[in-house]
Amino acid sequence: MTYADLAAGFVVGAAAIAIVATIRRRLSARWWLTTGLTISVLVLLTIVFDSLMIIADLFRFDADSLVGVRLWRAPIEDLAWPVAAGLLLPALRELLAPDRDPAEPGR
């Protein structure tokens, strides 16, 4: 199993939970825009700090388990984790929150 296979499983699972949250909670485009912006910031921070840690030689990856595409020094597979977290955590918050008052505007 490669890093990409493992990461893809997490992203697919997080996306499925986000879709369920969207349907069950009737989440608006505003929620998705905010979630997308959050994911973008997390991905950018991951690229920067992953690259700095690799430059500092804090860790190494098995080259045979990588796809080979890198952004600066960060392998593309590492970007799946902020994407999964950015989808999963807000979706779980919506799913686990108590029901809203029907008179309250949608999120």
Find the DSSP H helices in 26-78: 29-55
pTM: 0.87
Q: Using one digit for the tens of pLDDT, what is the confidence trace for 41-91? A: 999 999 999 999 999 999 988 888 899 899 999 999 999 999 999 999 999
pLDDT over 80 at 7, yes or no? yes
Among candidate residues 73, 69, 25, the one with its CA nearest the CA of residue 47? 73
Q: For residue 77, give the 3-state DSSP assignment.
A: helix
